[in-house]
Amino acid sequence: MSAAMKRSLPLAMLLALSLAPAARAANEADYKAAYAAAEAASKEAAGMRNQWTTTVATLAAAKKAGDGGDFDGAVTAAKEAEALAKASIVQATTEKEAWKAMEIR
């Protein structure tokens, strides 16, 4: 097998493994865990006074789906909200210095 093939094999297997658990429907525990992570990230973003409106909206959508028993939808929304919150945190930290680039001197 060529080197590339050797390297991509383990990768493929890893990918397959990570997909395996998602195959079955998410249950309430998955939703609670995903929502808690998203909420923590969102609180951190708010603490940095750099929250995004889309984070708040997606988190609310996750809760609504979760309350309605649609755990699959709720988990996806919670994951998305977490990603948004994390992005806003990265934005806040990078901008601490990056703003100077735009300053009129």
Partner 1 sequence: MKLRILLLLGSACAALVAFALASPRVIAADTVDPATDAKAFQNFFFQKFPGVKHEDFVNGPYSMNEDMKRQWLEKEEFPPYEFALDAGKEMFATPFKNGKTYADCFPNGGIGIRQNYPYFDSKEGKVVTLELALNRCREANGEAPYSYVKDEMASLTAYMAFTSRGKKMDIKIPDDPRAREAFENGKRYFYTRRGQLNFSCASCHVQSPGERIRAEVLAPALGILNAMPIYRSEWSGMGTISRRFITCNSQTRAVPLEPQADEYRDVEYFLSYVANGLPISGPGARP
Among 51, 74, 78, 89, binds partner 1 (CB under 8 A): 51
Q: Are the C-beta atoms of residues 35 and 62 closer than 8 Å to each other?
A: yes
Tokens of 24: 């079955």
The tokens describing 104, both together, are 């009129």
- 8 and 25 in contact (C-beta within 8 Å)? no
Residue selected from 32, 37, 56, 76 as contacting partner 1 according to rule CB under 8 A: 56
Determine, following the binding rule CB under 8 A, whether residue 83 of this chain makes contact with partner 1: no
Residue 44's contacts (CB-CB under 8 Å, 6 or more residues apart) are 85, 89
- All residues at 6 or more sequence positions from 16 whose CB lies less than 8 Å from its CB, including other chains: none
Instruction: Name the DSSP class of 26.
Output: P
Per CB under 8 A, 76 contacts partner 1: no
Among positions 32, 54, 72, 86, the unique one binding partner 1 when judged by CB under 8 A: 54
**C-beta of 57: minimal distance to partner 1 in Å?**
9
Minimal distance in Å, beta carbon 66 to partner 1? 22
Residues contributing to the site for partner 1 (CB under 8 A)? 46, 49-54, 56, 84, 87-88, 91, 95, 98-100, 102-105
